[in-house]
Amino acid sequence: MQDIPEDIVSKAAEGDLASFEALYRSTCGFVYNVAYRVLNNRQEAEEVTQEVFVNIHRNLKEFRFQSSVKTWIYRIAVNSALNRAKKLGRERDKRDEYKEDAVVAPDGAGGIPGNAIDKELVSGLLQSLNPDQRSCIVLRNIEGLSYQEIADTLQISINTVRTRLKRGRERLLEMGKELVAHEL
């Protein structure tokens, strides 16, 4: 996502619809991708994306350029996705769902291309993480943010980012070993 010029943000905050549309068009893909990576559900990601832009529209007048607009939007997107993930987690037990859905038949006769299996595997492994670890992994390894950008986005210390990444990676390795052992 590219930085958004201050004049577009200022005009959008004043109610200029064309400027808000420009802001939306330059950030909507990123917001959706972050939401999808955290939630692993297209419909929920679409809902979160809509919620994020409603929040941006309501709160744009309060934005004071103390951080970049990009960081501010990251923060809103990640927090909204995490809140939705936590809500969904309270409604059903994600770990049980993962164990039922993540079993892949090793016979190879299913006709599923290798890329589809990889995407399913990655999605399943990401879902095995708690939402805090998942958001750090997504922002670092999929979106390519630096540790400092992640800390700024999530409003946590850089040491907390490191800890969540370390624990998330350890969990992913553990789950990968379990899958390999299961296939043998």
Q: What is the DSSP string of 64-104?
A: -SSS-HHHHHHHHHHHHHHHHHHHHHHHS-HHHHHHHH---
Nearest-angstrom CA–CA distance, 9 and 163: 34
Cα(87)–Cα(84) distance, rounded to whole angstroms?
5
pLDDT digits (tens, 9 = 90+) for 95-142: 454 444 444 433 443 434 444 446 677 777 888 888 888 889 888 888
The fold of 93-184 is: Arc Repressor Mutant, subunit A (1.10.10)
For residue 57, pLDDT beyond 80:
yes
Longest dimension (CA), the chain: 61
**Overall fold of domain 1-91:** Rna Polymerase Sigma Factor; Chain: A (1.10.1740)
Both structure tokens of 114:
């290798």
